[in-house]
Structure 1
Amino acid sequence: MELNAVNDKKNEISNGKNKYWVVFRDKGWFDPNKQYVSDQTIANRVLLGLPRFQMSDVPVNALYIRKLQAQNIELQHQSRWLNAVTANISEEQYQWLSSQSFVKEITPISTKLVIASNGTFPTQKQFANALQQMNAKSLLKDGLTAKGIKIGIVDVGFDGANELGALRHVFKKKQFKEGRDFVNPKSKRIFRRHTSDDYHGTQVWKAVAGKVGQKRFGMATEAEFYLARTDHGVKEARTEEDNWIAAVEWMDSVGVRIVNTSLGYSTGFTDSREDYKPKEMDGKTSKISRAVDIAVKQKGLVIIVAAGNEGDIRSWRIVSTPGDAREAISVGATNLKMRTKASYSSIGPDFLPYLKPNVSCFSSNGTSFSAPVISGLAACLLQKKPSLKNTELRDIIEKSAHLYPYGNNFIGYGIPQADVALKMIEDNTWQPKRTATYSPKSNTWVLRGVKVKKVVAFHKRGKFWVYKQARLKVRDGDLVLKRPKNSVTHTTLDLGDKVIEVHWK
């Protein structure tokens, strides 16, 4: 048979076997009249104009499962979307699978999931700064708290979340609906501590929905929540992307509309041969990115992903998967006052045909805490207009951002503005008048009448790819802009309330 073995790397596990994805060629017989997802999921699809029945809802072929079990193959997870299973496989079992006509592909799992935080958690002041930067007060003025919107959070763990003061209201009002542990499926204690990293998901949840009195940590304070623990620590053990995919498939089946994940696969193995390669952050190579695209294009989900914290790592620098997925909303991090890229925030690869990250917002503690701010915004906008399709919502978030349409691979289209997004929902023809373009005749240009003292410049090679970002001083109202080198074709100037795109000749 013709077998697509994607690469030869192997993920050694304690019993001497290797862990693989096994993808099947078909799903065999199924009942076309059977409903494979919840009533809420069907209702979401009707609202969004999506097909009620989808082939990717149908379970993996039970006959194929029995054939694998007859060979004593240890199954881990089943993916309806990918029509695949993950399993621990010996060399002999691998050879048997390779000879089976129903097997399309065998792919080793040899990746590491990395938390997109720097090891510290934001203070209430830092959360408040992020919300202020996005003009989040306009949501409160509109009475928007994401009430009734189902949000899924995929993370390492949620240690002590049920005892956290900032989430007390969520439990009091029964907004927590269900939590599952995909690392240890038999465990029913989603809020217990498994590793030292398990408090991370708790802090991410707080960034989506937390509040204490009138002080808010997040915007989606009245949303409904589904939690998934998919990882058993950052450094201690290797993590499997199949947990993540299984979690998102479950969330879709129960009617979740927004999924936040502050985890990403990239580099960091003790054995560097097992790392992903930068060129594989192409939105196509990883199974997890393929799953994101299915979630968005077929299921109507909004997937919001932390871009990653590898911006300072010279051998990497770029977004981690699934932040590379075309359909994901990948979120980077900015500094507070000047709205430049935070040094650690991962950048978009210059080989992608689309822009990553999509947007950014302030976080001094990692992109882990940028993504949930955007998830809270997205949920409030869905409350405003529940019939918004996921792609329409993504467009509004991008178009509301302060640099739009002059994005870059450092901070995407910039920081979404809640007040702008609300106006776009109320009138889909409305656009803010805050941009201008200039084409200087020489490599030095003087802009007069500038009202701010400092200006941010993104010098770019082409439309998106930043050569460098700079903070420029304004002297007596004059800004002197110099083209740093001939390969720079565009410079985006952030003047605070206005954006100028300079086209160099």
Structure 2
Amino acid sequence: MRKHLIYLRDKANTPYSLTAPQRFLTARALARRTRQNIALLPRDLPVDPAYVAQVQAVAGTKVWYTSRWFNAVVVECDSAALALVQALPCVRSARTLNRPAAASSPSVAAPALTPARPAGTRADYGKAYAQTRQIGADVMHDAGFRGEGMQIAVFDGGFPGVNTGLVFASLYQQNRLASVYNFVGRDQNIYQYDDHGTLVLSTMAGNQPGVFVGTAPQATYHLFVTEDVASEHPLEEVNWLIAAERADSLGIDIINSSLGYNTFDAPSVDYTYAELDGRTALSTRAATVAARVGMLVVSSAGNEGNNRWRYLTAPADADSILTVGAVDSLGLRARFSSIGPTADNRLKPNVSAMGQQAAFVYPSGAIGRGNGTSFSSPITAGLAAGFWQAHPTLTAQQVIDYLQRSASQATTPDNLLGYGIPNFGRAQQAVAGIPLPTAPTVGVGRLVQLYPNPVPPGAAACTLQLPAELRTQPLEVRLYDVRGSLVATLVLPASNAASVQLPTASLQPGVYSCRLGRRGAAPYTLRLIRL
């Protein structure tokens, strides 16, 4: 039997009121709105229970969920009952969503617990070190921000092993697994199904020093199964919506969604690129409202970059969310990472992080590596959690802004990597009001180039091609690592030459920001990669 989304006509006679929001929102949810100066609106009111009763009274109809934001009801019924529901005066329209979901199976017991200790060194992070260091999350942890007090909801297809793995043990020991729910089966059985959610969660919540530490190892988590991996139907987007409404009502700060929708089992409901406009897809509309009520929605861009689709998948096209593309450990774009812009020509992705050969933990406890914006998204969500913890008075939109401003190509964003790779140290500088170097517009005759780039192993120098304005005077070159730390300052002698040699022998392998210019003048900024 199919499920349907039934849109109701209004909330005119609802018994709920915006003057008594504690009836449908927790104190934490209201506090989140207050901090960000977000007003309550009619969309926040629950649906009229009298309307729900009318729908439920139709023979053969079972109500699964209600949606405050869409003023809708999810029902299960056959075609005959649907026709009767659509004839009700309280019903505006209906949309068929899917086939029935598979039955749930029993849950598994929680794991034995072991004490956790703070992260710090390369040895503590294990194979997660590269993806953590690339965005400066190790510096964030050393500064004391590991996500304490922040609440993160993870929407995915299942979490097997989370209740048995040592890497997740501190979640139970420290009571940081706040809630779980399976929106596919309408129960709390989440420790089964697809292991994608486990892998995703480990990149943030992993907390086994000496083995694997994620980017937000001390945050509080809510695990929601919204994805039915056995099929692909718009119902899963509605599960996303209902889960986001629950996240809102619980006062959750951040949603990580490593999910994407563009094609379905029934091709007639596939999205076209023109519909990736921030206003059409069900999950996109839900993500937009989630952002409007003050949650920071972090979404994977999608893995369509090297196939015929190429572009983002929903809900990554949503406005006001943080869409994340994928790079490798050297900061180079992963070919599979979906590209922008959105159909209405907004820049996407917003930022990028390590998603090629990213490290994660399997349900068995084994450490693996894999590819996908599914991993770059939660790695970034963990960074956002620690950064927001450090600056709790910021709004969700300000967090996005500072992370974008901190990123590796903030002055020259594009639809491949967005603003580039964010960095905690540089975001801290931006909050503190320390000016971040910007690159002037590059025009004809003013081109600065660095080659070979990447610099091969063993190379003692690379070549810096200079425009006329940077010749004849001494040139100051500053090199910063991915943390934003200054690692070298060089002064190149004045020369009439169009190119000069930049020493690289002393540089460790990694990604650097190279800023050059005359003293007192706005610097040029380039990325230098040392292999």
Deviation at 1:291, TM superposition (A): 1.4
Partner of 2:66: 78
Partner of 1:453: 452
Q: Does 1:68 align with 2:55?
A: yes
1:42-441 matches, within 5 Å, as: 42-51=30-39, 53-72=40-59, 73-109=61-97, 127-186=128-187, 188-191=188-191, 193=192, 195=193, 197=194, 199-214=195-210, 216-234=212-230, 240-267=236-263, 269=265, 271-297=266-292, 299-314=293-308, 316-337=309-330, 339-349=331-341, 351-364=343-356, 365-427=371-433, 430-440=434-444
Q: Distance between the aligned counterparts of 1:206 and 1:346, measured in 2?
A: 23
Contact 2:278 2:342 in 1 (8 A): no
Q: Distance between the aligned counterparts of 2:174 and 2:300, measured in 1?
A: 28
Q: Distance between the aligned counterparts of 2:164 and 2:512, measured in 1?
A: 44
Contact 2:216 2:385 in 1 (8 A): yes
Residue 263 of structure 2 aligns with an amino acid whose one-letter code is T
Q: Distance between the aligned counterparts of 2:69 and 2:353, measured in 1?
A: 32
Contact 1:151 1:226 in 2 (8 A): yes
What secondary structure does 1:321 align onto?
coil
Deviation at 1:229, TM superposition (A): 1.0
Q: Distance between the aligned counterparts of 2:144 and 2:332, measured in 1?
A: 31
Q: Distance between the aligned counterparts of 1:65 and 1:371, measured in 2?
A: 37
Out of 89-98 and 256-265, give the one that drifted further: 89-98
Q: Distance between the aligned counterparts of 1:356 and 1:236, measured in 2?
A: 24
Q: Distance between the aligned counterparts of 1:261 and 1:48, measured in 2?
A: 22
Contact 2:317 2:342 in 1 (8 A): no
Deviation at 1:395, TM superposition (A): 0.5
Q: Distance between the aligned counterparts of 1:439 and 1:54, measured in 2?
A: 48
What secondary structure does 2:514 align onto?
coil
After superposition, what is the alpha-carbon deviation per residue over 1:315-372, rounded to whole angstroms, capped at 9, x for unaligned?
x1111111110122111101222x3321111111453232111111111210110001
Q: Distance between the aligned counterparts of 1:261 and 1:29, measured in 2?
A: 32
**What is the aligned-residue RMSD (CA, Å)?**
2.8
Q: Does 1:19 align with 2:3?
A: yes
Cα 1:132/1:37, change in 2 over 3 Å: same
Q: Distance between the aligned counterparts of 2:230 and 2:300, measured in 1?
A: 16
After superposition, what is the alpha-carbon deviation per residue over 1:76-113, rounded to whole angstroms, capped at 9, x for unaligned?
221111111122344444444444443233233369x9
What secondary structure does 1:42 align onto?
helix
Cα 1:402/1:94, change in 2 over 3 Å: same
Cα 1:226/1:476, change in 2 over 3 Å: closer
Asked which structure has the greater CA Rg, the reply is 2
Contact 1:110 1:274 in 2 (8 A): no
Cα 1:95/1:234, change in 2 over 3 Å: closer
Contact 1:146 1:379 in 2 (8 A): yes
Cα 1:260/1:350, change in 2 over 3 Å: closer
Q: Distance between the aligned counterparts of 1:405 and 1:24, measured in 2?
A: 46
Q: Distance between the aligned counterparts of 2:46 and 2:525, measured in 1?
A: 52
> Which residue among 477, 480, 483 is the counterpart of 2:464?
477
Contact 1:438 1:500 in 2 (8 A): no
Cα 1:245/1:433, change in 2 over 3 Å: same
Out of 241-250 and 94-103, give the one that drifted further: 94-103
Q: Distance between the aligned counterparts of 1:139 and 1:24, measured in 2?
A: 46
What secondary structure does 1:240 align onto?
helix
Residue 37 of structure 2 aligns with an amino acid whose one-letter code is G
Cα 1:352/1:236, change in 2 over 3 Å: closer
After superposition, what is the alpha-carbon deviation per residue over 1:460-482, rounded to whole angstroms, capped at 9, x for unaligned?
xxxxxxxxxxxxxx9743389xx
After superposition, what is the alpha-carbon deviation per residue over 1:120-175, rounded to whole angstroms, capped at 9, x for unaligned?
xxxx7653211121122221231111111111111111111022122222221111
Instruction: Report 1 or 2 for greater relative contact order, CA contacts < 8 Å, sequence distance ≥ 6.
Output: 1
After superposition, what is the alpha-carbon deviation per residue over 1:385-419, rounded to whole angstroms, capped at 9, x for unaligned?
11111111110111111101321111111100110
Q: Distance between the aligned counterparts of 2:525 and 2:443, measured in 1?
A: 11
What secondary structure does 1:279 align onto?
helix
Partner of 2:514: 497
Q: Distance between the aligned counterparts of 1:149 and 1:261, measured in 2?
A: 17
Q: Distance between the aligned counterparts of 1:411 and 1:92, measured in 2?
A: 49
Contact 2:256 2:297 in 1 (8 A): yes
What's the TM-score, normalizing by structure 1? 0.78
Cα 1:321/1:350, change in 2 over 3 Å: closer
Cα 1:397/1:344, change in 2 over 3 Å: same
Partner of 2:366: none
Q: Distance between the aligned counterparts of 2:264 and 2:466, measured in 1?
A: 43
Contact 1:145 1:220 in 2 (8 A): yes
Structure 2: gaps (5+ residues): 102-124, 357-370, 456-460, 468-510, 516-523, 527-531
Q: Distance between the aligned counterparts of 1:424 and 1:88, measured in 2?
A: 51
Cα 1:236/1:306, change in 2 over 3 Å: closer
Q: Distance between the aligned counterparts of 1:325 and 1:258, measured in 2?
A: 15
What secondary structure does 2:214 align onto?
coil
After superposition, what is the alpha-carbon deviation per residue over 1:276-326, rounded to whole angstroms, capped at 9, x for unaligned?
2222111111122111111111x2100001111111221x11111111101
What secondary structure does 2:425 align onto?
helix
Residue 453 of structure 2 aligns with an amino acid whose one-letter code is K
After superposition, what is the alpha-carbon deviation per residue over 1:53-85, rounded to whole angstroms, capped at 9, x for unaligned?
442332111111121122222322211111111
Contact 2:273 2:343 in 1 (8 A): no
